[in-house]
């Protein structure tokens, strides 16, 4: 199975909102409400920021929100801040114990 499709890069100015798309298939995103998102700063460990499409772990800013429609999911970062500059990865359960990650999106704060 191929990786989920994400844009290579997204940019925005401080205070703006940006949305990262994550496109899969009816076998993964389209069939399960089990999408998660990870933030990874350069040289650091990935951090869970969204799970089960819309839920945030304790301690994660409410500026991060997730959604899903059909075979695609999205991560929105509102009130963009310098610290949000990082790589973001979507992830979906794909059945039979299989999990797929997206290729990653580099977010740049202008």
**Binding residues among 86-105 for another protein as defined by CB under 8 A:** 89, 91, 93, 96-104
DSSP letters spanning 62-93? TTEEEEEETTEEEEEE-S--GGG-EEEEEEEE
Rounded Cα gap, residues 21 and 56, in angstroms: 18
**Binding residues among 10-69 for another protein as defined by CB under 8 A:** 33-34, 36, 38, 45-48, 51-52, 55, 57
Can you give the binding site for another protein, defined by CB under 8 A?
Answer: 1, 3, 33-34, 36, 38, 45-48, 51-52, 55, 57, 89, 91, 93, 96-104
């Amino acid at each position: 199975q191929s990786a989920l499709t994400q844009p290579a890069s997204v940019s925005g100015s401080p205070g703006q909102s940006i949305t990262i798309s994550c496109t899969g298939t009816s076998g993964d995103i389209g069939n399960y409400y089990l999408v998660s998102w990870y933030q990874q700063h350069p040289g650091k460990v990935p951090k869970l920021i969204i799970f089960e499409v819309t839920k945030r772990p304790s301690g994660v800013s409410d500026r991060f929100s997730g959604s899903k429609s059909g075979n695609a999911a999205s991560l929105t970062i509102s009130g963009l801040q310098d610290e949000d500059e990082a790589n973001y990865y979507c992830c979906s359960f794909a059945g039979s114990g299989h999990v797929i990650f997206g290729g990653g999106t580099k977010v740049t704060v202008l």
